[in-house]
Amino acid sequence: MTVRDVAPTGAPTWIDLWTSDVEGSRAFYPAVFGWEALPADPDFGGYFQFAHNGHPVAGAMGDMGPMKANDTWKIYFQTPDIRRSAAAVTTNGGVLHFPPEPVGDLGLQCVFSDPSGAVAGAWQPLGFQGFAEVEAPGAPSWFELHTRDHAGSVAFYTAVFEWRVDSVSDTDAFRYATVRDADGGDTGVAGLMDNRADIAESEPAFWTIYFEAADVDATIATATSLGATVVEPAQDTPYGRLAVLADPAGARFSLRNTPI
């Protein structure tokens, strides 16, 4: 388990759920991951946080007025200059859905789509640094882009967040790159996978969040007993035992038991 005070530059720093079933989500995720659903904040449209071991781990909210929730998880990447990052989004072919704006005194955020259609956000922290735990059971474990345009995605995110990217494999059978700590460390913070074999040309790319599970199969059993569905069954890989689920409202997330 890693407990951090500040996310590395360009690394995932926060995640949140846009759910059509707020009360169901407030019950489901604590039962699956041992989270605590904190009170909703009326000053932020009913947005609320989940906590784990006393640390903020994720946020969630329901419909935003006439904008109906689409039951998805979103990743926010840390940036020291959100206006520069937002400008880089549009300069490099992305689309800004929400331009940079302050969230109280917590920080500044924006939401965008990359050129392949994957939706993500940027976060410039002020009073709030994001999630503190990484790779603890119940905490975020890994973050991965699935795209048909691997080279274009590497170029886009490198321009927006100043990533350092290492190629793990570059063959048609398996093309994968790892994002390194942009502040100079050697820790991997995210991955980019060429998934053209499984994404139709008409479908957008997407980011997926892996949550650490001490026992992937037991976590699946708990989640499905509460109404989740299995999208991809658990399987052993060189990167740990992995599975993909959808919560009762349809939001997808992944499980991972990191190999020791």
Per-domain residue ranges for the chain?
1-260
Spell 153-183 as b/e; 16+ CB within 10 A means b. bbebbbbbbbbbbeeeeeeeeebbbbbbbbe
Q: Could you tell me which residue, 183 or 252, shows the higher pLDDT?
A: 252
Say yes or no to pLDDT of 185 above 90.
Answer: no
pLDDT of 210 reads 98
pLDDT of 260 reads 75
pLDDT of 90 reads 98
What is the rounded average pLDDT for all residues in the chain? 95
Query: Is the full-model pTM beyond 0.85?
Result: yes
Q: How confident is the model at residue 188 (pLDDT cuts 50, 70, 90)?
A: confident
State mean pLDDT over 189-198.
94
State mean pLDDT over 212-225.
98
State mean pLDDT over 19-34.
98
| Percent of the chain scoring above 70 in pLDDT | 98
Say yes or no to pLDDT of 184 above 80.
Answer: no
pLDDT of 187 reads 75
State mean pLDDT over 49-62.
96
Long-range contacts of 240-247 (CB under 8 A, 24+ apart): 241/216, 241/217, 242/210, 242/216, 243/216, 244/208, 245/220, 247/19, 247/25, 247/28, 247/29, 247/71, 247/223
State mean pLDDT over 134-161.
96
State mean pLDDT over 148-161.
96
Fold category of 1-260 in CATH:
2,3-Dihydroxybiphenyl 1,2-Dioxygenase; domain 1 (3.10.180)
Alpha-carbon gap, residue 98 to 16, rounded angstroms: 15
Q: How confident is the model at residue 1 (pLDDT cuts 50, 70, 90)?
A: low
- Contacts (Cβ under 8 Å, ≥6 apart) of 152: 115, 116
Alpha-carbon gap, residue 161 to 83, rounded angstroms: 12
State mean pLDDT over 1-28.
92
